[in-house]
Amino acid sequence: MKEKQTILLKISGEFFKDNETIINNTKLIEIANQIKVLTKTYNIGVVIGGGNIIRGGTSTLKNVARTTADQMGMIATLINSLALRDQLRSMNVKVDLYSLIPIPTIARVYNINEMKNHLANNHVIIFAGGTGNPFFSTDSGIALRALETDAKAILMAKNGVDGVYSADPRKVKNAKRYDKLTYLQALKENLQVMDLTALSLLKDSGVTVQIFNADEDKCFIKALTNKIKSTKMTK
């Protein structure tokens, strides 16, 4: 039997939010359904942001230190990850949740060898807690996990944007859109696609990052079959 390739899915926390709830059940089920379909072909790792709850370093809380705000953001990713884990379990998908912040009564303490064994045995792996350190985003976290798992690709679902632009296309009418670009190009042109640490980690790797609109129905499945508008970033 041919060995499955590993892909990592990056989902923003804001994707789960609506005007009334922090985690919309319909959106949660929709993502879980896509993951279940993809497990037939790929080994799947998932990283979820926490922006639907708090955005860490960009928090506007006046008397909360940056380090504390980032810790709050990391815990927010754990909340979203717990919701996705239980949704997948309810659909009979084998899934393990690892937290880079050690909370052993809630999630598995991160262990690379154990994680890779579960991944190879068709368990969906959810990575919570970013890198486990303040001052680093979930972009850096997923870049590290991609290198550790020898992932073929990172699929990044962005809210309301169908790829990488020279500026926010919702604010700048003539912003240039990229179908393809390199990590070095993104670094040199200061494109806001991933944080600088993540781009630096990936620039010499064989990992492809594909960026597309999270609002598109079945966006991850369509991205993998090139049935959705996207930007591909490589070395």
Per the annotation, does 117 bind a ligand?
Answer: no
Q: In the predicted model, what is the mean pLDDT of residues 92-102?
A: 97
Confidence of residue 91 (pLDDT cuts 50, 70, 90): very high
Per the annotation, does 81 bind a ligand?
Answer: no
Q: In the predicted model, what is the mean pLDDT of residues 227-235?
A: 96
Q: H/E element holding 124? A: strand 124-128
Residues 150/112, Cβ–Cβ less than 8 Å: no
Q: Is the pLDDT of residue 234 over 70?
A: yes
Per the annotation, does 168 bind a ligand?
Answer: yes
- pLDDT averaged over every residue in the chain: 94
Per the annotation, does 10 bind a ligand?
Answer: yes
Angstrom CA distances, 165 to 20, 160, 190, 231, stand at 30, 12, 11, 9
Q: Three-state DSSP class for 74? A: helix
CATH superfamily of 6-233: Acetylglutamate kinase-like (3.40.1160.10)
**Given this model, what pLDDT does residue 88 score?**
98
**Given this model, what pLDDT does residue 61 score?**
81
Q: Is the pLDDT of residue 1 over 70?
A: no
Per the annotation, does 183 bind a ligand?
Answer: no
| Pairing assessment for the beta strands 164-165 and 230-234 based on DSSP bridges | unpaired
Q: In the predicted model, what is the mean pLDDT of residues 113-136?
A: 96
Residues 49/104, Cβ–Cβ less than 8 Å: no
DSSP symbols for 78-91: HHHHHHHHHHHHHT
Q: In the predicted model, what is the mean pLDDT of residues 204-224?
A: 96
Per the annotation, does 165 bind a ligand?
Answer: yes
**Given this model, what pLDDT does residue 180 score?**
97
**Given this model, what pLDDT does residue 19 score?**
87
Per the annotation, does 231 bind a ligand?
Answer: no
Angstrom CA distances, 80 to 11, 172, 205, stand at 10, 32, 29
Q: How far apart are CA 44 and CA 19, in angstroms?
A: 30
Q: How far apart are CA 162 and CA 230, in angstroms?
A: 6
Q: What is the pLDDT of residues 18-64, one digit of tens each?
A: 888 999 999 999 999 999 999 999 999 999 999 999 887 777 788 99
Per the annotation, does 12 bind a ligand?
Answer: yes
Per the annotation, does 134 bind a ligand?
Answer: yes
Per-residue HEC secondary structure of 11-73 comes to: ECHHHHCCCCCCCCHHHHHHHHHHHHHHCCCEEEEEEECCCCCCCHHHCCCCCCCHHHHHHHH
Q: In the predicted model, what is the mean pLDDT of residues 150-161?
A: 94
Q: In the predicted model, what is the mean pLDDT of residues 176-183?
A: 96
**Given this model, what pLDDT does residue 227 score?**
95
Residues 36/116, Cβ–Cβ less than 8 Å: no
